[in-house]
Amino acid sequence: MNNRKKTDILIIGAGLSGLVTGLILSKKYKVTLITKQNLDKCSTAWAQGGIAAALSSSDNFEKHIEDTIKNGHGLVDEDVSRLIIQEAPNCIRWLEENGIVFSRHGDEIDLGLEGGHSERRIAHIRDETGKIIHKKLSHIVKLNNNIEIIENSMAIDLIIDINQKVKTCLGAYVFDCNNKSVTTISAKNIIISTGGASKVYQYTSNPNTSTGDGIAMAWRAGCTIANMEFVQFHPTCIYHPLAKSFLISEALRGEGGKLLSPSSARFMKKYDERQELASRDIVARAIDYEMKKYGYTNVLLDISHKSASFIKRRFPLIYKKCNELGIDITKEAIPVVPASHYTCGGVQAKLNGQTEINNLYVIGEAAHTGFHGANRLASNSLLECLVMSKMCSESICNISDKKSDNNSLRLWNDSYVTDSKENIMISHNWDELRKIMWNYVGIVRSDKRLTSAKIRLKIIEDEVNDYYHHHKIDKDLLELRNIIEISSLIIDSALSRKESRGLHYSIDYPLTKTEYKKNTLIHGKRGDYFMKLVHSKV
């Protein structure tokens, strides 16, 4: 049974950005917060590193800005980075006021070091920063009477009024993954905070939720998408048959962890004088090169020269996880491989999240503000989430209240589709797509591999579109449809950049070229949009 609902603010996604925005806006509005799984399932909860903030006496905003710009390889928007970085101490304070206790060194916050940072500036909670912050804020959100949390619900598409001078978002169709119904939710403001799209790759450090739903939805609705070729691969995820997607934080290298070949030789010196603390693009590419050249299945990361008490205190999560897998990191090295980790591109948005579509905001990893450029600096992402959430909430509170014309929205129509008799088409295409992306659109690219990926993707896209228009939806199908569109955006962006820069490395164009010192923009899909919204053959 499909139905309707009305709210002031619809927030899609309940990671750090969704929670913070919801909390601030709930002071003035009724907020509906939807999340695909349970509230605790999101990338934020998996973030080990921390929040970058120039807090030490030897550090300052200019140094943090300089590191961010240098790591972004010419594509960081300096004004945006300045605005975000100057807000970092306020963000840390806001979290502390909300009960978050950062790891301390005496009276001061203990600041960690990560690749690409010239100073110790990562405020953290051991190696569980995201988990602790998310848990605390979730608890506060759950107690808030102005916030309705709807779990196990996934937005299918945004509802856009194309008849106004500027396109306007009126709400979204939301699929209940448990009872399989679709609710038409109308809202005065819609905020996408669905995170990134790292799940399009076979190996990822991200949870299953990272399927780029918000980016795909906003693109279908007509938003411009920027810089999707810049996919960040984290250099060190655990390599073990029983461990899926487990990150070994960069903080481990910040505390002296060494990268070794399987025969225990250090190799990073060949690639960068900063060795293990070079920026992520360089370290991930070096590991990829070593693995491919010498046929290794993995490399090793060793912190065992530090005292066992330090390791257990600083990295309790990593210690515990490795121990469960039979690896004692106080005595032996950890087998690691790179895996997709962060989507630097996303929906083109201002710092307050405003997109080209009225009443539609995109914040956090799903957005592209210009802060990360061609390679995000470690621990700058939770910071961006916090600043965008604050600015987005303030903007919405400052605009005059609008009346939304809720009752005219069409209900979801699935009267023309049937139940699917088998799921193999979905599961097969999920696996095939992620393998194609890993093998042909990975850390090192070529025109030949990218073109081959594009051809294969088209076959999958046609098959899945046909299936989508004839069968009842479920979560796997909706996510598959999204990862197909995300993959296509990544491939097209990568093919259009005939150079190497930051996270995009092509063997055909190994040099960085001045004429490509610009963002890659792909304009939103238009035309048959409303037809696609109505899930039927009409």
Task: Give min distance, CB of 233 to ligand SIN, in A.
Answer: 11
What does the alpha-carbon distance between residue 303 and residue 252 come to, in Å, rounded to a whole number?
A: 7
- Whichever of 213 and 384 has its CB closer to ligand SIN, that residue is 384
**Member of 13, 15, 18, 49 binding ligand SIN (CB under 6 A):** 49
Beta strands in 372-483 (DSSP E): none
Task: Give min distance, CB of 251 to ligand SIN, in A.
Answer: 6
- Whichever of 251 and 494 has its CB closer to ligand SIN, that residue is 251
What does the alpha-carbon distance between residue 203 and residue 284 come to, in Å, rounded to a whole number?
A: 13
Q: At what angle do helices 447-470 and 424-440 cross, to 10 degrees?
A: 160
Task: Give min distance, CB of 48 to ligand SIN, in A.
Answer: 4
> What's CA 328's distance to the chain center, in Å?
30
- Whichever of 41 and 131 has its CB closer to ligand SIN, that residue is 131
Label residue 86 exposed, middle or buried (CB < 10 Å: 0-12, 13-18, 19+).
middle
Residue with the two structure tokens 């396109």: 167
CA angle 96, 33, 199 (to 5 degrees): 90
Q: Given the residues 121, 126, 253, 280, select the one marked as catalytic.
A: 280
Task: Give min distance, CB of 346 to ligand SIN, in A.
Answer: 15
Any contact of residue 45 with ligand SIN (CB under 6 A)?
no
Which structure tokens are listed for 460? 């999958």
Task: Give min distance, CB of 378 to ligand SIN, in A.
Answer: 4
What does the alpha-carbon distance between residue 199 and residue 498 come to, in Å, rounded to a whole number?
A: 25
Q: 129 to 188, contacts with ligand SIN by CB under 6 A? A: none
Report how many residues bind ligand SIN under the rule CB under 6 A: 10
- Whichever of 18 and 50 has its CB closer to ligand SIN, that residue is 50
C-alpha neighbours within 13 Å on the C-beta side of residue 119 = 21
Interface pattern 373-412 for ligand SIN (x via CB under 6 A): -----xx-x-------------------------------
280 classed as catalytic: yes
Any contact of residue 340 with ligand SIN (CB under 6 A)?
no
Which structure tokens are listed for 410? 């069409």
What does the alpha-carbon distance between residue 495 and residue 447 come to, in Å, rounded to a whole number?
A: 7
Task: Give min distance, CB of 172 to ligand SIN, in A.
Answer: 29
Q: 215 to 274, contacts with ligand SIN by CB under 6 A? A: 247, 249-251
> What's CA 393's distance to the chain center, in Å?
20
Residues interacting with ligand SIN, by CB under 6 A?
48-49, 247, 249-251, 342, 378-379, 381
Residues noted as catalytic: 280
